[in-house]
Structure 1
Amino acid sequence: MAAQSSNSDIFIVNPYEGHPSLTPLQSEVLWEYAKLAQHVRSLTGKTRTLNEEPDKTMLARLRVLEKKMGLVLTLFKASVWGVINEQPAQEGYYTDSNDTTA
């Protein structure tokens, strides 16, 4: 319980302020690092929680999105295929004048 309150106190009180071996600038920099470290700890804990117990609603929404994206990809492929098939055959690859067979 004391660790919990000291973690939240890091954002309110600079524990390095007034330290005899530190300048005011050094104490401010160390305080910023301590706050950053606490944010990283919090983020790590939350990502572990998300990793261990995936959000059921998020998974359901992502599955719906996956199905829609599959449909979009299929329609896109079909439209590209349609455009390719509608183009006339390109001239110049082979003509009768290039034919050298007897």
Structure 2
Amino acid sequence: MVSEGRGWTFLTNHARVLLAIAHDPTAQLRQIAAFCQITERTVQAIVADLEQAGYLRRHRVGRRNQYTLDLDRPLRHPAGAGLPVRALLDLFPGG
């Protein structure tokens, strides 16, 4: 990752995890962490945040988790409150 300036990025880790799950709802935490270039522990905390806020549901399928996203839930920031999560995901076709 190219880091210039003060180290800020356009997307939060929460957005990256959401995109990774949208791309592969059966991905393991390790795969999501690699995709997002963050630790598994951070992914685990973010998945818990997203689940608690109602943006995703976790289902056990055998020994793995499968995630279902609520694409109609509004974005959290006041500037995007009228937009559903779907609008964010549509900006990144193919994950």
- TM-score for both structures, normalised by structure 1: 0.21
Which has the greater radius of gyration? 1
Q: Which has the higher helix share?
A: 1
Q: Which has the higher strand share?
A: 2
